[in-house]
Amino acid sequence: MAKEQKIKVALDDVTRNGRTVSVLILGKQEIGYIESEGDKFAAYLAGNTTANRFKNIDDAVNFLISEYHLHHS
């Protein structure tokens, strides 16, 4: 049976280029960040410049985590 691993997920607010963004960190690795755009949220995967837009921050966080797991399994 596989041993369960506990992984720390953190959402920290930082300032980048004069804007406050929420950075999603999994363990010690940044997997992406989220910017507020009016009533929508733009999620950017680490190293990507293309945004994926969502109606709420929970959907944006779930997107970043699922994309991370999809490409780093």
Q: 24, 44 in Cβ contact below 8 A? A: no
- Provide the pLDDT for residue 73: 57
Residues found in the chain: 73
Model confidence at 17, in pLDDT bands (50, 70, 90)? confident
- Backbone phi and psi for residue 32, each to the nearest 5 degrees, phi listed first: 165, 180
The percent of residues above 90 in pLDDT, for the chain, comes to: 68
Say if residue 29's pLDDT is above 60.
yes
Express each pLDDT in 52-70 by its tens digit. Answer: 999 999 999 999 999 988 7
Tokens of 64: 């970043």
d(CA 60, CA 39): 13
